[in-house]
Amino acid sequence: MKKVIGTSLLLFIYTFSFGQFALDTIESSQGRMVIYSDRTWELVSDIGFDGIMNEQVYNLFSSDTSYNFVQTWDNEVCFTSDRVNDLSKLKDTVWLCVGDSLHSKFVMPFDGYITSRYGFRKGRYHNGVDINLETGDTVRACWSGKVRYSKWNEGGFGNLVIVRHYNGLETFYAHLSKLLVAPNTEVKAGDVLGLGGNTGHSRGSHLHFEVRFYDAPINPEEIIDLANKTVKDQNLFVHKGIFRPGAKPSDYYMQGDGHGTEVATVAKVASTSAKKYYRVKSGDTLSQIAAKNHTTISRICQLNGIRQTTTLQIGRQLRVK
C-alpha cells in the first residue's frame, strides 16, 4: 500500500503530479522505496508481494483442490476470503510451528486481565478475547509478521490492525484509539501497533484480540496461556474441531470436561500420531534428513507440504514421521 511521503519532497513531486508514475528510488531505514508522482511511496519489497508468509501451509492447501481455501494479500478488506473458507472440510490434522528459531518470541498484546473469553455471548459468538485496558495504553504485536490491514473497520472493530505471521496465523487488534503502523510494515513481536481505545462496537475501553487461520477464528486459549502470558506449546495441531463456534481449547476437553468427545479424540490422535520432528541444521539436505530418520524424501515433502526444490531454513522443524 502506498503512503503519503514526507513534506521535504512534496514540492518536487507536486510539480510532476500530472499522473501517477515512478519518479525515483531511494534508500530508507525501512529499505529501498519507489517515489511516485502522487505524493506516495512504496517499498520495493512490497511490489507484487503475494502474501505468502508460510510456504509450508500455502503449499499444503494450494496443492489440494478439494479445499478451495482462499487467502490473498489485501490491505483494504478485513477478510480476504470473504469468509468463504470452510475449515470443517479439514480431513487431516495440520501441524503448525507457532514459533521457530527465527521467530520464536511471543509477547502479550497488552498486560491486562481478561474481561470476556471466546465463546457464546449475548446471543452471538464472541470470536476472540477482550483484554481490559485504558484508552491510550500501548498495544503490541504478539508474534513477528507483516501488517496486512490498518484502518477504520465498518464491521464493528473500529480502528483495527491485522498482522499476518510466519506461523500461518493472523491476529486482530480491535477498538484502538490510534493506529501507529501502516499496511505492509514488517513488525517484530513486541512492536507497537497502536493505542488501546473504545472505537467501533465497543462499550468501554478494551482490546478485542483474535487469532485466525485462513479467516476462521481459533480460541486464543488453544495456543496461549492467558494467565501466564506465554505460548502453551510451539506445536499447534490444527483440526476441524477447533474451528467450531465457541470451541473450548483441546486440553480443556482432555481434562475431562465431559463434552466434545470428537474433539478430544482428534486431539489425542494429533498428539500421539504426530510422531517425530527434525530441526534443520546448517548443511542439511532433504536426502540427508530422510536417511537420518529412515524415511523418504517424498514422505517428508508430503508430511510438510513442501517440494523437493524447497529451500530449507535453518531452525525449521520438519515432520519426518
DSSP string across 135-157: TT-EEE-SS-EEEEEEEEETTTT
How far apart, in whole angstroms, are the C-alpha atoms of residue 224 and residue 230? 6
> pLDDT grade, residue 144 (50/70/90)?
very high
CA-based R_g, the chain, Å: 21
The most confident of 80-89, 157-166, 309-318, by mean pLDDT = 157-166
Q: Could you give the percent of the chain with pLDDT greater than 70?
A: 80
User: Between 274 and 44, whose confidence is greater?
Assistant: 44
How far apart, in whole angstroms, are the C-alpha atoms of residue 321 and residue 303? 8
HSE toward the beta carbon, residue 190, CA cutoff 13 A = 6
HSE toward the beta carbon, residue 218, CA cutoff 13 A = 24
Q: What is the CATH number that goes with domain 277-319?
A: 3.10.350.10
How far apart, in whole angstroms, are the C-alpha atoms of residue 226 and residue 183? 28
Q: Where in the chain is the domain with CATH 3.10.350.10?
A: 277-319
Q: Where in the chain is the domain with CATH 2.70.70.10?
A: 114-271
Domain 114-271, what fold? Glucose Permease (Domain IIA) (2.70.70)
Average pLDDT over residues 32-47: 67
Q: Is the pLDDT of residue 265 over 60?
A: no
pLDDT at 44: 62
Average pLDDT over residues 3-28: 52
Q: Are 127 and 303 in contact (CB under 8 A)?
A: no
Q: Is the pLDDT of residue 232 over 50?
A: yes
Q: Which of 31-40, 42-51, 181-190, 296-305 has the lowest mean pLDDT?
A: 31-40
User: Between 216 and 8, whose confidence is greater?
Assistant: 216
Q: What is the pLDDT of residues 198-219, one digit of tens each?
A: 999 999 999 999 999 999 999 9
Rounded to 5°, the CA angle 127-129-134 comes to: 135
Q: Is the pLDDT of residue 318 over 80?
A: yes
Q: Could you give the percent of the chain with pLDDT greater than 90?
A: 47
Containing H/E element for 43? strand 40-43
Residue 176, strand partner residues: 159
pLDDT at 30: 63
Q: What is the pLDDT of residues 99-140, one digit of tens each?
A: 877 888 999 999 999 999 999 887 889 999 999 999 999 999
pLDDT at 43: 66
Q: Is 58 exposed, middle or buried (0-12, 13-18, 19+ CB in 10 A)?
A: middle
